[in-house]
Every structure is written in C-alpha cells, then in structure tokens.
Amino acid sequence: MTSIADSAIDTLWYTRCPVPTASGLANSLGWLDRTATESGVRFGVLQDAGPELAVRHFDHHLSGLIREGGNVPALAARASGSPTRLIGLTWIDEAQAILVRGDSDIREAGLLAGARIGIPAWAADQARSFPRAMALHGFASALRLGELSFADVTLVEVATTAAPEVRTASSTRNTTWGVESLLRGDVDAIYVKGARAQEVAREHGLAVAVDLDSTASLRDRVNNGTPRPITVHADLLEQRPDVVVGFLAESLRAADWAAANIDEVRAVLQTETQSGPEGVVAAYGENFHTGLHLSLSDERVDLLGVQKQFLYAHGFLAADFDLQSWVAPEPLEQARALVAAQKDTLK
C-alpha cells in the first residue's frame, strides 16, 4: 500500500499512547521538536492533527511517522503489510488486574471456574480491536495461573468503541471496558489496566481477584503495553536515518532525565493519563521512572514474540510474519553511541 506522503519527507510525525514513555517525556520537554528542527524537518504530533491523519496511529501508513504505543496495533499493522521497522522496546509494568464486584467470592485465579468474563466486542478492524485483545490475553494469563482455560469460563461480549481514535488533549478514551456490565451483574469479572482503571475500581468498590503484576514470570504479564514497541515507517528510516537516530537519542536522554526528576515525570503522566497522583502511583509503582530506557534485548524481543503468537492464534493478525526480520537494531545502537559521545565531551 502506498503511503500518504510526498516522496521527500519534510515532516517528522510522532504518535504515542498515554502511558509512561521516554519519547513522551522528550516530546513534553520540547526535545523532539528541537531535534527535528535541527535536522531541517518540521515536527508534528498526530494527536494534534485532524482525523484524516489520526487513523495513521493504527495503520502506520504515513511515511514520516514514528510510533510508540501498544503492540496490538503495531503488530497488526505489520501483519497487514505496513512497511514498518521495529527500532526499540520498553518494558513498563502497568497495573493489570481481573476485577470483580465487591461482594463476589472470586478472590483468586482458581475461583474463576464457571465465571462469566467480559470481553470487549470486535472493533472496526484488527488494529483497533486492542481492547478485546488485551482482555483475552489478560484472562488467558489469569486462567493459566489458576490451572484453568477458556473452556472453564463463559465469554460474554461487552460494548466497546467501534472505531477508537487517538486521544487528544480535549478528549478522553475509555480504558475500563465492561465496568457497567460488571456493576449490572451481566458478567462476573473484567480485565482492566492503567492509572484510570485503578481509580475506577476504587470509585465503584470493585475488588481485585487476580493481580497480574504480582506474578513472577514476565510472560504472565505480556499484553498490549508490555513490551511496548517503537516503530518507524521504512521510508523515514531509509531517507532520513539521521532523524530517526536523533529521535531515539532524545528518548534516551529523556530516560536519563526521568530517573532524577520523579515529581516532574509524575506531573506529565497525570496529564497524559487524565488520572490523579494516586492513580499514577497505583498503576506504575514508585520507581517506574528509573526504567524507561529503550532496548532491543533478546528477552524483550522474545516477549514480543509471545504476544505476536497469541494475537495470531486469536485472529488479531492478518498473517504471521518473521519477528527478527522486523527488527532494525542499528538506529538504537547509533543513538546510544551518540549520547555516550556527548556525555564524554561534557566530562
């Protein structure tokens, strides 16, 4: 499919999800705009663009785009033929839980046997069906912890947005699909994640039946946000590798900055997540700001492979593809060398 852009790339477009990321901090600090300007290109944030470009967050058919966000749309776009490359991965443990009503007897994974579990309906396409994918994988992990499977529960579809768009500063996006169904008694358990989800649980007196973040195995925590990929359109990487390396270098610097500036990081994140300070701490813990650095380690790539295979098995990918051939390690290696060299000059 041809990309929506002129052959000569004159704008670095950036899009992200409202979660803790080094690139998000670099954007808030004005560093991404700075590096784009120094490279002689304009800088645009997809969240600030109109609806015609907003959909590119999901299909990545914009040749000047770098995206950091949930892995469901990124993997779905690649499986559908979008010419992207994987240039970085982060791992931020974002609160994931199976919630039940306060009067429920379900308080551990094994007690989910016989439960009606709420699964968001399919959206307009595979990439935008990330709420369904998240819930399915979250429940799959919880059931496995209880030595159960989907054969031991009843799946009940709950309403979701058919065509979710990227969230802007003046809009909200639901992150707690199924709460109403749970409160009405239509389902017995739902999957939730993130800062706002923690606040919603407290507001409605809901109880945590399974805390997926307390599991020792990282594989039990794999989901849409873990690991979280940075992908770039292949045209941008081919035509302007310097811009891509500059973007990654600013993200690495922002990760260094975050480790020493927790109060400022939390203030940015409260705006991103539209949550209060307690919700941010509950969702991401006290020390998330120290672990925002990008990596393409074998472990993280393997964990992304776990998610890819789950999504393919459950119909969220149009086709399977070779994960290793998607990885482009050179830009991150060059960005690390650039940041290290600049640090040396300041000594």
Average pLDDT (312-319) is 98
Per the prediction, the chain carries an average pLDDT of 89
DSSP state for residue 304 in the 8-state scheme: H
Q: Return the DSSP state at 104.
A: -
Residues 63-120 have pLDDT tens digits of 999 999 999 999 999 999 999 999 999 998 888 999 999 999 999 999 999 999 999 9
Tell me what pLDDT residue 168 has: 47
Q: Under 8 Å CB-to-CB from 112, ≥6 apart: which residues? A: 98, 106, 142, 143, 146, 148, 152, 153, 189, 209, 210
Does residue 263 have a pLDDT over 90?
no
In the predicted model, what is the mean pLDDT of residues 316-326?
A: 98
- Predicted confidence at residue 161, as pLDDT, reads 78
What is the per-residue pLDDT for 223?
A: 96
Q: How high is the pLDDT of residue 35?
A: 95
Q: Which amino acid is at 31?
A: W
Q: What is the pLDDT of residues 235-258, one digit of tens each?
A: 999 999 999 999 999 999 999 998
Q: If pLDDT is split at 50, 70 and 90, which confidence band does 310 have?
A: very high
| Confidence band, pLDDT 50/70/90 cuts, at residue 172 | very low
Chain position carrying tokens 């020792």: 216
Q: What is the distance between the alpha carbons of residues 31 and 266, in angstroms, rounded to a whole number?
A: 18
244-248, 271-275, 338-342: the lowest-pLDDT one: 271-275
Mean pLDDT value across residues 335-341: 96
Instruction: Sort residue 279 into left (φ over 0), alpha (ψ -120 to 50) or beta.
Output: alpha
* 147: pLDDT strictly greater than 70: yes
Q: 10 Å Cβ neighbour count for 276?
A: 14
Q: What does the DSSP 8-state code read for residue 121?
A: P
Average pLDDT over residues 279-308: 82
Tokens of 201: 């649980």
Q: How many CB atoms lie within 10 A of CB 252?
A: 23
pLDDT reported for residue 313: 98
Residue 219 has pLDDT above 90, yes or no: yes
How many CB atoms neighbour CB 256 within 10 A? 14
Beta bridge partners of residue 42, listed in sequence order:
11
Q: Are 68 and 17 in contact (CB under 8 A)?
A: yes
Confidence category of residue 222, pLDDT binned at 50, 70, 90: very high
Q: Tens digits of per-residue pLDDT, 42-67?
A: 999 998 888 888 889 999 999 999 99
- At 4 the pLDDT is 40
Residue whose tokens read 């979250």: 138
Range among 167-176, 313-322, 337-346 with highest mean pLDDT value:
313-322
**How many residues appear in the chain?**
347
User: Is 33 or 52 the better-scoring residue by pLDDT?
Assistant: 33
